[in-house]
Structure 1
Amino acid sequence: MRGSHRTSTTQMEVTSIRLEKTLKDSLKSLSGSQGYQTLIRDILWNYVQQKSGEYRPNFSKTDIRATIPATARKDESCVLSGKLISEDDEMLLALTIHGDFVPVSEEALKK
């Protein structure tokens, strides 16, 4: 999978993809100085990692806007501490500044 370093473009394969002009323009404006192709690669890697179960978002307490008491229906990983929240354990669902709900242990918020 993707490492912590960037792959040289000489080691990449050329792929053609058709995008709507408005989508391409939006990606260009969102990408800033990194370029829209780099942004597309980052988006695709994030998708692959999420689907493979390897995605581990990095959050801090300042990213959390609100919490809701919940019960884990399967094993989860606290996004603040990385510690296991076992199935049927009490936990919190935290609403992030990005609008995502993520699992958080009560202990991680107390620290």
Structure 2
Amino acid sequence: MQALTRIPTTEMEVTSIRLERELKERLKTLSGSQGYQALIRDILWNYVQQRSNDLFTNVSSSDIRATFTATAEREERCSISGRIIRSGEEILLGLTTEGNLVPIHPDSLS
């Protein structure tokens, strides 16, 4: 998945969120040196990208570890070429090195 552009935290809005203690501790463990708040932002941006048809996630073919053949249930945009994949067409789901599944047009890996 494409790295998100970082802006200084001084330009961000402060938001309060309540998390279970165990969830917060697990996020801290998973985040490493990145910090758990940055990890939460990444998780939220990934969610927004997956749910929004207008956002395009760009990856290179070298970011893909494996692919799975499927049928598109809705219109998607290929994460490598940007090409539209229509509902009902064959699609590849690419597993990235970061563990994300991204839509790929079958001709984009050749």
TM-score by length of 1: 0.68
Following the alignment from structure 1 to structure 2, what is the Cα–Cα distance between the partners of residues 13 and 104? Answer: 35
Identity %: 47
1:23-102 → structure 2 map (5 Å cutoff): 23-53=23-53, 54-60=55-61, 63-68=64-69, 70-89=70-89, 91-96=90-95, 98=99, 100=101, 102=102
- For 1:23, the aligned partner's letter is L
Inter-partner Cα distance in structure 2 for 1:62 and 1:40: 22
Residue of structure 1 in register with 2:17 after alignment: 17
Gap runs ≥5 in structure 1? none
Query: Is the Cα contact below 8 Å between 2:85 and 2:91 reproduced in 1?
Result: no
Alignment check: 8 A CA contact 1:61 1:80 kept: no
1:57 to partner: Cα distance: 5.0
Q: CA deviation at 1:35?
A: 0.7
Runs (5+) with no aligned partner, structure 2: none
Q: TM (normalized to structure 2)?
A: 0.69
In structure 2, relative to structure 1, the CA distance for the partners of 1:32 and 1:86 (3 Å cut) is same
The Cα offsets for residues 5-39 of structure 1, whole Å up to 9 and x where unpaired, read as 32x22222322211111111110011111111111
